[in-house]
Structure 1
Amino acid sequence: METPGYDDVENHTLCDGDDQNSLGAHLSTLYYFMFLFSLCGTALVLVIIYRFEKLTTVTNILLLNLVLSSLIFMSSLPFIGVYMQLSHWIFGEAMCKIVCSVYYLGFSSSVLFLTLLTFDRHLAVVYSLEAQRVRNQGYAVISCAVVWLISSLACIKPMMFQNLLQNNMNNQTYCEEWEHDLSDATVNNLKKAEFYIQLILFLIFPLVVIIYCYLRIAITVLSSRIIGKFKTVRLIFIIVLLFFLCWTPFNIVSLMSADTCEQENRKAYALHITRNIAYIYFCFSPILYTFVGKKFQNYFRQIVVKRFPGLKRHISGHQNSSRNTMSTKTTPNYL
Structure 2
Amino acid sequence: MGEINVEDFFSKTNNTAPVNPVDCEVPLCEKINVIQFGAAFLPAFYYTNFLLSLVGNGLVLYIIYKYEKLTTVTNIFLLNLVISDLIFAFSLPFWAVYHKSEWIFGRGLCKLVGSCYFIGFNSSILFLTLLTFDRYLAVVHAISAVQSRKKKYAFTSSAIVWVFSILASIKDIVLYDVMDDLNRRLCEMTGYIQSTLTKWELIGYYQQFLFFFLVPLVIVLYCYSRIIIRIMSTRMVEKCRAVKLIFVIVFTFFICWTPYNVVILLKAIKTSFADPCNCSEALDYALYVTRNFAYLYCCISPVFYTFLGKKFQRHFLKLLAKRLPCLKINTLLSEPSSKTTTSVRSPTLITDHSRDQQVSD
Q: How does the TM-score come out when normalised to structure 2?
A: 0.80
Q: Is the 8 A contact 1:65 1:113 kept in 2?
A: yes
Distance 2:180 2:232 in 1: 61
CA positional deviation for 1:228: 5.9
Query: Which residue number corresponds to residue 165 of structure 2?
Result: 151
Query: Which residue number corresponds to residue 247 of structure 1?
Result: 257
The alignment of Structure 1 onto Structure 2 pairs a total of residues equal to 320
Give RMSD over aligned pairs.
Answer: 2.7
Output the amino acid matched with 1:265. E
Q: Is the 8 A contact 1:97 1:159 kept in 2?
A: yes
Residues 1:132 and 2:146 are matched in the alignment: yes
Q: Which moved more, 1:228-237 or 1:215-224?
A: 228-237
| Residue correspondence of structure 1 range 88-107 to structure 2 within 5 A | 88-107=102-121
CA positional deviation for 1:17: 2.2
1:34 to 30, 43, 49: 49
Residues 1:44 and 2:59 are matched in the alignment: yes
Output the amino acid matched with 1:35. F
Distance 2:89 2:312 in 1: 22
Distance 1:46 1:123 in 2: 25
Output the amino acid matched with 1:33. T
| Residue correspondence of structure 1 range 3-82 to structure 2 within 5 A | 9=12, 14-27=28-41, 28-82=43-97
What SS does the corresponding residue of 1:156 show, helix, strand or coil? helix
CA positional deviation for 1:150: 0.1
1:281 to 264, 273, 297: 297
Unaligned residue ranges in structure 2 (runs of 5+): 1-9, 14-23, 352-361
Distance 1:235 1:60 in 2: 20
Output the amino acid matched with 1:34. N
Residues 1:201 and 2:211 are matched in the alignment: yes
Change (3 A) 1:141 1:235: farther
Query: Which residue number corresponds to residue 178 of structure 1?
Result: 190
Residues 1:318 and 2:332 are matched in the alignment: yes
Distance 2:152 2:240 in 1: 26
CA positional deviation for 1:134: 0.6
Output the amino acid matched with 1:252. V
Q: Is the 8 A contact 2:57 2:300 kept in 1?
A: no
Q: Which moved more, 1:145-154 or 1:256-265?
A: 256-265
CA positional deviation for 1:183: 8.3
For 1:287-314, what per-residue CA distance to the aligned partner results, in whole angstroms no more than 9, with x for missing partners?
A: 4245322111110111111112222x3x
Residues 1:307 and 2:320 are matched in the alignment: no
Distance 2:103 2:141 in 1: 51
Distance 1:195 1:77 in 2: 20
Change (3 A) 1:100 1:227: farther
Unaligned residue ranges in structure 1 (runs of 5+): 1-6
CA positional deviation for 1:236: 7.2
For 1:147-173, what per-residue CA distance to the aligned partner results, in whole angstroms no more than 9, with x for missing partners?
A: 000000122111211122211x4x211
For 1:64-103, what per-residue CA distance to the aligned partner results, in whole angstroms no more than 9, with x for missing partners?
A: 11111111111111011001111x1111112112212211
Q: Is the 8 A contact 1:72 1:102 kept in 2?
A: yes
Q: Is the 8 A contact 2:136 2:223 kept in 1?
A: yes
Q: Percent identity?
A: 45
Q: Which moved more, 1:9-18 or 1:259-268?
A: 9-18
Q: Which moved more, 1:7-16 or 1:118-127?
A: 7-16
Query: Which residue number corresponds to residue 120 of structure 1?
Result: 134
Output the amino acid matched with 2:117. Y
Q: How does the TM-score come out when normalised to structure 1?
A: 0.86
Query: Which residue number corresponds to residue 231 of structure 2?
Result: 221
What SS does the corresponding residue of 2:103 show, helix, strand or coil? coil
Query: Which residue number corresponds to residue 3 of structure 1?
Result: none
Distance 1:52 1:242 in 2: 28
Output the amino acid matched with 1:205. V
Output the amino acid matched with 1:210. V
